[in-house]
Amino acid sequence: MGWLELKVPPPIVLFILVCLMWLDNRLMGGGLAAGVWLYIGLALMVAGFALAFRGLRTLIGNRTTPSPRKIDRAKKLVTSGLYSFTRNPMYLGMVIFLVGVAALFGNFWLLIGPLAFAVYVTQFQILPEERMMQTKFGGVYADYRQRVRRWI
């Protein structure tokens, strides 16, 4: 399944999963969560978006490509800010956002969405990115991988 590597940008995968989660919730007769779960869901969605956006801004601020399909154009290995805690703050933010969607709908089974996203992105986006970064930045990237976890 290597033909899927770096083909579908993670924001598109995120959008598709949000639509599927919404559709599943509608078909099961669900609506929005009640009470505290509504607020937890909204808070997680905002936090996930903020994390992903901050990761994006950090890459742009360091004048390197934020494009998940053009990782070979990276000019610099960014290891500061959020990138000193997780190698993939944008993808982590998207997972948190999807957990927020599941909480917003108050449907435990919708947690399959964030799990599917994490598995897909790891296999078809992160692993190919890591191979390219290792080739491009060599030992510096290997040291970074030793210090900073892929997710959290």
Indicate the domain borders of the chain.
9-147
3-state DSSP call for residue 9?
A: coil
pLDDT, residue 99, reads 98
Tens-place pLDDT, residues 6-36: 789 999 999 999 999 999 998 988 888 888 9
Q: For residues 17 and 131, what is the distance between their CA atoms, to the nearest angstrom?
A: 26
Q: How far is CA 143 from CA 2, 8, 77, 97, 139, in A?
A: 27, 29, 11, 30, 6
pTM as predicted:
0.94
The two tokens of residue 139 are 């030992």
